[in-house]
Chains A and B, each alone.
Chain A
């Protein structure tokens, strides 16, 4: 078994079997990460470039560490807005990096479709580390991995995703992944952030969080961008928290063994209360650990497609 594409641009483009393969492979790497010596020589001699057009700490660090654990050489390029303004086109930057011999280009960009554009224009494997409001596929894969570890299946689970769905690439990737693996997905939030036509993606929509959380197996919280406040999406973060913040009282509506997830970074007191974030049902830090294993699996499998 191997992946069909040299690139990972989105969950939308994957089949359920591809996702299963990545999750299985990640499971093997998670064992490696539990050992004393956490590094394997699998991809020695390969070069990984982190090409980040948007600031990121956790995703970039996670990719960097995953690439290093597989023994690839890693270069981090943070393209500040100022050098983009200076005039080099995205395509020229990427071709230059490829000409230096990169095997993997991990890209994050504020414009949707950038990973797709690079995948069409480059021979190197392109991995989408977040493009605009489109997708963040490795985040969804690590979320699926975490659910699988805890629940041993995804089919038939009821999953609530809460918050700014419209602008969230994490939510989009998770919706596709969860639907492909047979989960029931509910989106919860104000209509300004959860447009009605998203029903066409095969999900249910709730504006009332108490109703939406009833008997769910998983609660996925999303980061609320502070910039949205006062832009008409919602009046204030105080009002938002009152209606859509995850508190212990609200969480009680979910199943007793429901998991609480969050892709980070969290805004405590805006979308999630501290006691829930740090509570027993929170798997937020495990998500971070699993991210490493999943990203190793992705790099490893894509290298196989190339060879």
Chain B
């Protein structure tokens, strides 16, 4: 089958493309990006099918006035399967991903059982192959059971298909063990992803430390709980030469530490943040809104500004969602007892486009951080429209305002603090090598 996406503004940072072009796809791979020849018939953003003389199906998508970009790569997602299927499954999570314009997800290992051995990795990949709407790349645990005591079988998980290692929300507190993980992972040239939190300092905190936490009577987590671990992990990366990727950067101090480390250039350091850390502050916790409970916590205005600055100057390489779906009942109760996390896949593009609206990033830079860079970090040949690449493409409509309605989320997790927020960028067509997903 041949698909031609016509007349869209095609943006591909991997080739420096930003033009009104047609993208031609054949047999699930990208054939070429060529200059548009002119008008096409049909309704904007809709697929038109016809059968040519050789009885082969051809599809055309008119993307006039829309953005045509590589399918996004979200390197920080919780698919919850196996073990927490009531929160999300590989099926619903990947369907939510394509709805959000994401065609590759890296899934965190905090499932039950934990993805700390190749049989769990294989299970995830098999499920994803059968039921997944997009590509799934598992992240293996650094330590057995995420317990921080002994290394998991990293080589075997690598063989099975893991693309990175992380103990996710349970940071490796033992510095010697973290050193070993960074050394050992060099064998596979895979990054170790670190959730930076000094657990002895955050000590049961549930939101950002400060006067707001005191007036709500909630236990605070100081920014330094993150920064201490960022500093440690940078030091260990410089010691070992291993690759460290700092997950969900939320504070001004962390941005500064990473910026300085990159300037020194002694180690391979990459970093990500999430839309909620550049979109909203701790104020969102407001009247004990459990949907705004996330770890690391939403921070102060100066942190939000610093994260934006880090995105702008390249200190932060990646925007990932940390998509963390939870069941309604779990979020409906005491703030202290509610689990942390935001269902983020379906607001990724809308929230991130605000960075373009504010003039902080060009669209090309945004796509670099949401598709190309994560792809490079975990070693995929994705996030690009180069000829021969898998046809992962998303068509984004901009300029038409809408309000976020969690009831319309495909994800089982409706837990978002962005309900009723007005956005304008929205994926309308997502293409994977095997399917075209269209909405509206």
Chain B residues lying within 8 Å of A135, measured Cβ to Cβ, are 217
Chain B residues lying within 8 Å of A201, measured Cβ to Cβ, are 211, 214-215
* Given contact pairs A112-B336, A114-B334, A116-B287, A132 touches B217 in the complex (Cβ within 8 A): yes
Cα A171 to Cα B216 in complex, Å, equals 13
* Given contact pairs A91-B332, A116-B287, A117-B334, A131 touches B215 in the complex (Cβ within 8 A): no
Question: Is A30 on the interface with B (CB-CB < 8 A)?
Answer: no
Selected from B329, B332, B334, the residue in CB contact (under 8 A) with A113 is B334
In the complex, the chain A residue whose C-beta lies closest to that of B220 is A195
Selected from B214, B216, B335, B337, the residue in CB contact (under 8 A) with A197 is B214
Question: Is B218 on the interface with A (CB-CB < 8 A)?
Answer: yes
Q: Name the prevailing secondary structure of the B interface residues.
A: loop
Question: Is A169 on the interface with B (CB-CB < 8 A)?
Answer: yes
Question: Is A69 on the interface with B (CB-CB < 8 A)?
Answer: no
Chain B interface residue count: which class?
10 to 19
Chain B residues lying within 8 Å of A198, measured Cβ to Cβ, are 211, 214
Cα A253 to Cα B215 in complex, Å, equals 30
Question: Is A65 on the interface with B (CB-CB < 8 A)?
Answer: no
B215 touches A12 (CB 8 A): yes
Total A-B residue pairs with C-beta atoms closer than 8 Å? 60
Chain B residues lying within 8 Å of A12, measured Cβ to Cβ, are 215
Question: Is B333 on the interface with A (CB-CB < 8 A)?
Answer: yes
Q: Point out which of B211, B217, B287 has the most chain A C-beta atoms below 10 A from its C-beta.
A: B217
Chain A residues lying within 8 Å of B288, measured Cβ to Cβ, are 112-113, 116-117
In the complex, the chain B residue whose C-beta lies closest to that of A165 is B214
Question: Is B161 on the interface with A (CB-CB < 8 A)?
Answer: no
Question: Is B210 on the interface with A (CB-CB < 8 A)?
Answer: yes
A90 touches B334 (CB 8 A): yes
Cα A198 to Cα B288 in complex, Å, equals 20
Q: What total of chain A residues lie within 8 Å of the partner, measured CB to CB? A: 25
Question: Is A42 on the interface with B (CB-CB < 8 A)?
Answer: no
Chain B residues lying within 8 Å of A117, measured Cβ to Cβ, are 288, 333-335
Cα A192 to Cα B210 in complex, Å, equals 14
Question: Is A133 on the interface with B (CB-CB < 8 A)?
Answer: yes
A83-102 to B contact mask, C-beta < 8 Å, 1/0:
00000011100000000000
Chain B, range 222-265, C-beta contacts under 8 Å to A:
none
Question: Is A109 on the interface with B (CB-CB < 8 A)?
Answer: yes
B335 touches A112 (CB 8 A): yes
A133 touches B217 (CB 8 A): yes
Give B407 Cβ to nearest chain A Cβ, in Å.
Answer: 19
Chain A residues lying within 8 Å of B217, measured Cβ to Cβ, are 112-113, 131-135, 169, 172
Give B401 Cβ to nearest chain A Cβ, in Å.
Answer: 29
In the complex, the chain A residue whose C-beta lies closest to that of B337 is A111
A113 touches B211 (CB 8 A): no
Chain A residues lying within 8 Å of B218, measured Cβ to Cβ, are 112-113, 132-134
Give B181 Cβ to nearest chain A Cβ, in Å.
Answer: 30
Chain B residues lying within 8 Å of A91, measured Cβ to Cβ, are 332-333
Cα A111 to Cα B288 in complex, Å, equals 11
A166 touches B329 (CB 8 A): no
Cα A111 to Cα B217 in complex, Å, equals 9
Chain A, range 109-153, C-beta contacts under 8 Å to B:
109, 111-114, 116-117, 120, 131-135
Question: Is A200 on the interface with B (CB-CB < 8 A)?
Answer: yes
In the complex, the chain A residue whose C-beta lies closest to that of B214 is A198
Selected from A120, A132, A195, the residue in CB contact (under 8 A) with B336 is A132
Give B223 Cβ to nearest chain A Cβ, in Å.
Answer: 13
In the complex, the chain A residue whose C-beta lies closest to that of B219 is A133
Selected from A113, A166, A195, A200, the residue in CB contact (under 8 A) with B335 is A113
Chain B residues lying within 8 Å of A134, measured Cβ to Cβ, are 216-218
B273-316 to A contact mask, C-beta < 8 Å, 1/0:
00000000000000110000000000000000000000000000
B214 touches A166 (CB 8 A): yes
Cα A133 to Cα B214 in complex, Å, equals 8
Chain A residues lying within 8 Å of B334, measured Cβ to Cβ, are 90, 109, 111, 113-114, 117
Cα A116 to Cα B335 in complex, Å, equals 10
In the complex, the chain B residue whose C-beta lies closest to that of A117 is B288
Chain B residues lying within 8 Å of A111, measured Cβ to Cβ, are 334-337
Give B216 Cβ to nearest chain A Cβ, in Å.
Answer: 6
Give A246 Cβ to nearest chain B Cβ, in Å.
Answer: 24
B211 touches A197 (CB 8 A): yes
Give A238 Cβ to nearest chain B Cβ, in Å.
Answer: 25
Chain A residues lying within 8 Å of B214, measured Cβ to Cβ, are 166, 172, 195, 197-198, 201
In the complex, the chain B residue whose C-beta lies closest to that of A168 is B217
Cα A131 to Cα B138 in complex, Å, equals 42
Give A199 Cβ to nearest chain B Cβ, in Å.
Answer: 8
Task: Please list the residues of chain B having a beta carbon within 8 angstroms of any beta carbon in chain A.
Answer: 210-211, 214-219, 287-288, 329, 332-337
- For the A-B complex with A112-B335, A132-B218, A197-B210 known, give 15 more contacts whose Cβ atoms are closer than 8 Å: A12-B215, A89-B333, A91-B332, A112-B216, A112-B217, A112-B218, A113-B287, A113-B334, A114-B334, A116-B287, A117-B334, A120-B287, A134-B218, A172-B214, A201-B211
Instruction: Name 16 A/B residue pairs within 8 A (Cβ), A-sorted.
Output: A12-B215, A90-B334, A109-B334, A111-B336, A112-B218, A112-B335, A113-B216, A113-B287, A114-B334, A117-B335, A134-B218, A166-B214, A172-B217, A197-B210, A200-B211, A201-B214
Task: Please list the residues of chain A having a beta carbon within 8 angstroms of any beta carbon in chain B.
Answer: 12, 89-91, 109, 111-114, 116-117, 120, 131-135, 166, 169, 172, 195, 197-198, 200-201
Which 6 pairs between the two chains have the least Cβ-Cβ distance? A134-B217, A112-B217, A113-B288, A111-B334, A133-B217, A200-B211
